Structure 1
Amino acid sequence: MKLFNTLASALAAGLLFASPVSAADITSPMAPELKQIEKDGWTFAVSPYFWAAGMSGDTGLFGLPTVHMDMKFGDILKELDFAAMAIGEARYDRYSIFTDIMYTKISSGRGTPRGIIADNVSVTSETFAGLVGAGYSVLQSERGNLDLVAGLRVWNASTEIAFSGGILDGVKREDSATWVDGLGGIRAKYSITDKVYFTGWGLVGGGGADVDWDVAGGIGYSFNEKVSAVAGYRALGVDYSNDGFVMNVVEQGPIFGVVLHF
């Protein structure tokens, strides 16, 4: 059973960041370019993205002792059922509002060695993370801008372990946690040509978690006024623990996305 306890903890951690893995417009390289389509002074952008992140750290479920994990992105991908990640932003002059929505579902099943306690044990984990916030450009020019940003990120993670066959046939157990973290930091963007720009950010905060941080850098290319693409690297860490649910992990890896302007 230690094997399955370890698996459940690892999967729960992976879900929180799979990307999960990982993470809002202020936390994503898919930041809108300087030149956008304007409507009554407002500019808008939507950015679906993909984060190929691995994960390392300590996790714990059901009040059991924490376990250490070191998972590559390929390990997470094998168990991934579904993932959806998208960012939206609206800007007016120096002001911006934004949101980042992430949902992931991972499941895995294993047969037991002797089948006395159970013939099979399945683990299903789901995570929702949503960030909403606002920013203000303290420095702004035709080439770039430097924004001060702040927001709230809501996390909800649940893991269910179900047994089939054997003594525990039909038994299910679920452990879950919901918390909110306040984040603050900066986002910067600089266009080196009309087509190419650099973007980066740094965020840190806490609340439900002891520490919640997020840093990244990327390079973007504009195909036209409505479509651009970005590639970069991102690292995110969180240290949360409450009532036997422990999540102290770091997720990092390359991130890719498309920016749609309208």
Structure 2
Amino acid sequence: MKAIYLHAIVLLAGVTAASIGNAADVTPLAPEAKTVETRSGWEFTVAPYFWAAGISGDVRQFGLPEVNIDSDFGDILDNLDFAFMAAAEARYDRYSIVGDVVYVKLGADAHTPRGILADSVDVTSETFAGLLGVGYAVLEDQNGHLDVFGGMKVWSVETDISFNGGLLAGVEREDSATWVDAVVGLRGNYFFTPEIYVTGWGLVGGGGADVDWDVGLGLGYKFNDTISAVAGYRALGVNYENDGFVFDVVQQGPIIGVSFHF
């Protein structure tokens, strides 16, 4: 029986490919792909992205002992039901407002060895991570900018287990946690040419979690004033512990995305 629960915890940990994109076009910090010409007024960016992250660390749920996990992106993809990741930014002069949402849902079912307590168990894991904050450009010229950033990040992690057949037929259990972290850091980009730019960011903070950090670096290409794309690498870590619920993980992997500027 313990093996069933441990399997559920591993699935939960994989769910967070969580969390939150890349700086010029695929990050929760999503700075716009800046043009060489000076522009005035509000500028908006919407950036859907995809993060192929693996996950490692320690998790604990349902009152069971802590479990160490180490899953690559392929393991997570095998159980993926649905995922949505997108960032948005509104920018005026040196000021910016940034939002980012990540939602991932995993589902799996497994048969029990003897089928006495249950014939099979269904596991559903959902993770939501949302960031909202403001930035100010301390350095800015026609080729790029460097912003200081501060904001709030909301995490929600939930796992549901249901048993089919056997003595536990119809039994369902849920374990979940929701917390908020304050984060600060830097974000920026720099254009080597009117089309090619580098972008990067670094955030760190805490609150509900003991520590919450996010770093990344990407290389972007601006096709025109409306569309640009970026590819890079991102790593994120969070350490949350409360009332027997443990979520102490690091996620890292390549990230790609497209941004639309208007």
TM-score, normalised relative to structure 1: 0.95
1:249 maps to: 249
Q: 1:73 to 1:152 in 2, by over 3 A?
A: same
Deviations 1:76-122 (A, max 9, x none): 00000000000000100000001001111101100011100000011
**What are the residue-to-residue correspondences of 1:81-92 with 2, within 5 Å?**
81-92=81-92
**Does structure 2 conserve the Cα–Cα contact (< 8 Å) formed by 1:82 and 1:105?**
yes
State the 1:198 CA deviation.
Answer: 0.1
CA contact (8 A) 2:21 2:255 kept: no
Aligned equivalent of 1:258: 258
What residue in structure 2 maps to residue 204 of structure 1? 204
- For residue 222 of structure 1, what is the aligned residue in structure 2? 222
2 CA distance for matches of 1:173 and 1:44?
43
Q: 1:24 to 1:256 in 2, by over 3 A?
A: closer
- Measured on the aligned residues, the alpha-carbon RMSD in Å equals 1.7
Q: For this pair of structures, how many residues does the alignment match? A: 259
Q: CA, structure 1 residues 198+39, in 2 after alignment: closer, same or farther (shift >3 Å)? A: closer
Report the 3-state secondary structure (helix = DSSP H, G, I; strand = E; otherwise coil) of the residue aligned with 1:193: coil
Q: Does 1:4 align with 2:4?
A: yes
Q: How much does 1:2 deviate?
A: 2.8
Write the distance in 2 (CA, Å) between the matches of 1:28 and 1:228. Answer: 16
* Alignment correspondent of 2:104: 104
Corresponding residue SS for 1:22? coil
Counterpart residue number, 1:163: 163
Counterpart in 1 of 2:20? 23
Unaligned runs of 5+ residues in structure 2 are none
Equivalent residues of 1:146, 1:188 under 8 A apart? yes
Which residue identity does 2:161 align to in structure 1? I
Matched-pair contact (CA < 8 Å) for 1:29–1:199:
no
2:75 equivalent in structure 1: 75
**2:145 corresponds to:** 145
Q: CA deviation at 1:39?
A: 9.0
What SS is found at the alignment partner of 1:63?
coil
Task: Report if the CA contact (8 A) 1:29-1:218 is conserved.
Answer: no
Contact 1:125 1:160 in 2 (8 A): yes
| Contact 2:98 2:133 (C-alpha < 8 Å) held by counterparts | yes
CA–CA distance in 2 between the matches of 1:229 and 1:196? 10
Closer/same/farther in 2, CA of residues 108 and 36 from structure 1, 3 Å limit: farther
Is 1:48–2:45 an aligned residue pair? no
Structure 1 pair 180/24, CA: closer, same or farther in 2 (3 Å)? farther
Structure 1 residues 35 and 87, CA, compared in 2 at 3 Å: closer, same or farther? same
CA distance in 2, matches of 1:67, 1:188: 37
Determine the structure 1 residue equivalent to 2:114.
114
**Cα contact 1:22–1:53 (8 A) shared by 2:** no
Change (3 A) 1:210 1:36: farther
Q: Aligned partners of 2:148, 2:100: CA distance in 1, in Å?
A: 17
